[in-house]
Amino acid sequence: MALHEQNIRLTFGLKLRQLRQEKGLSLQTLSQRTGISVSYLNEIEKGKKYPKADKIAALAEALEVSYDWLVSLQLHPKLAPLTELLQSNLLQELPLEVLGIDKAKLIELLADAPAKLSAFVSTLIEISRNYDMQVEQFFFSVLRSYQEMHNNYFEDLEEAATHFRQQYLPSQETDSHTLAGVLREHMGIQVIYENFQQEALYALRSVFIPKKRLLVINRRLSEAQRRFVLARELGFAHLSLSPRPYTFSWVTISSFEEVLNNFKASYFAGALLLPVASLLPQIESLLNMPGWQPSAWLALLERYVVTPETLLHRFTNLLPHFLGLQELFFLRFSMDTASQKVRLTKEMHLGQLHNPHATALHEHYCRRWVSLQVLQSMQNQRHEGYLCDAQISEYIDSPNRYWVLTMARSMYPTPATLSSVSIGILLNDNTKQKLRFLENAQLSGRKVGETCERCSAPDCKERAAPAVVLEEKQRHQARLKALQQLVQHYEQS
């Protein structure tokens, strides 16, 4: 991977500072030996300037090293992790400004304390290796942080979707035929449907061929899925987002900017298909119903012809911003019907880190969650469709209680996989005033854990694994208590 010019400057500056300090030279002394001003040397060491060949030669002579070694990208072995960071181009791939980080100040910090930051970077790399974290996972983690910083509401994307509807969809129709027509007539993108014959391609929803300006959509998709694919493509085109992925779902990821642009196009699609002006009043009406009626929530899927994930993601945009329900989470689970293995494939936490969260990717998530219960029920449903349920979840060994709304569907075009999506709203005085149906007798409440391995529930019929993590924690606490008693015994004797 070619190094970015800024990283080359930074590498040279770090090496220059390292050599100067090893020789015990001040900037003033080095300036006198080379004829280069102190201010220019300072800018070189901070990675802001890269000297010309004559100045590099003068620096090499003053520091008693070869010209070739000085311009090489090799740093001291102690700074190896920092070298790895620079050569990865991570500083360039991450738009640090969206996280409120000034890139210039970060680079200056790298130049001021390279050894300490090297140790810090080494720690991060070691943690990522121990948890088998890939670069792609890191990108998605940064994206979640970005969403959480903004309560997952982005005014510019909302306005872009509103203006797009006014300009291109005056009739308010958003069926797949209409959206494909807009792509063709206004964006110059042709749409075709094809059966992806190779098994390895079954799970793909679409492929975009940029040279042909052609969007190929998997014929197996439902109308709701087709609409989202088309609306997302309109987002890429209308917002001029590049770089971007050419497949849906992901096959390869080359940069964080690609991940961010995919999020923007997807957000645009949700806002286009579920406009706030019509959806928000309906959400408020559902929250004010005197009783829990799952059919009323499922009716939104039919009205807007969207998938449960698109709908509940849209809830996370609107509930915090317009209704003040800011402490909530979003979870997506998938289950392989052959192995019965359940995976948490997406999560987002607004307001705080809520229960549950993906602290135990290789453990057994609590089978009492409504998110998993609907997956079990879905297996008995012999036709394509949706299920909706809700639960008041009270976490064992925690004061937290949540109202959890879950919707599930079979994941066409891969029917052997089931998926559920959930939003959970923390119950407090504010939410109790806004969710009128909470005390309804038809709404079940259960004590739940996070994973079987960490759960203290006695005689749990749903337990899928022994509480080995909890038991180890209890043994450790007993060991600490015994040690404290031993110390007190000898102190008092």
| pTM for the full predicted model | 0.80
More reliable by pLDDT, 97 or 24: 24
The two structure tokens encoding residue 274 = 């579920």
**Residue 479: inside a domain, yes or no?**
no
Residue 342 pLDDT level (bands cut at 50, 70, 90)? confident
**Residue 160: inside a domain, yes or no?**
yes
Same domain, 116 and 175: no
Same domain, 27 and 61: yes
Same domain, 193 and 306: no
Same domain, 261 and 283: no
Mean pLDDT of 212-233: 95
**Residue 493: inside a domain, yes or no?**
no
Same domain, 72 and 199: no
Q: Is 240 exposed, middle or buried (0-12, 13-18, 19+ CB in 10 A)?
A: exposed
Which of 252, 273, 294 is the C-terminal boundary of a domain?
273
Mean pLDDT of 308-329: 95
More reliable by pLDDT, 315 or 95: 315
Same domain, 317 and 215: no
Residue 31, domain CATH: 1.10.260.40
What is the tally of structural domains in the chain? 3
Report pLDDT digits (tens) over 363-372.
Answer: 888 888 999 9
Quote the Cα angle for 461-470-446, to 5°.
40
At 46, phi and psi to the nearest 5?
A: -90, 5
Half-sphere exposure of residue 113, counting CA atoms within 13 Å on the CB side?
Answer: 8
Same domain, 175 and 261: yes
pLDDT, position 1: 38
Quote the Cα angle for 117-119-124, to 5°.
95
Report pLDDT digits (tens) over 101-159.
Answer: 766 566 666 656 666 666 666 666 666 666 555 667 778 888 888 898 899 999 999 99
Domain that holds residue 311: 276-464
Same domain, 293 and 345: yes
Residue 230 pLDDT level (bands cut at 50, 70, 90)? very high
**Residue 403: inside a domain, yes or no?**
yes
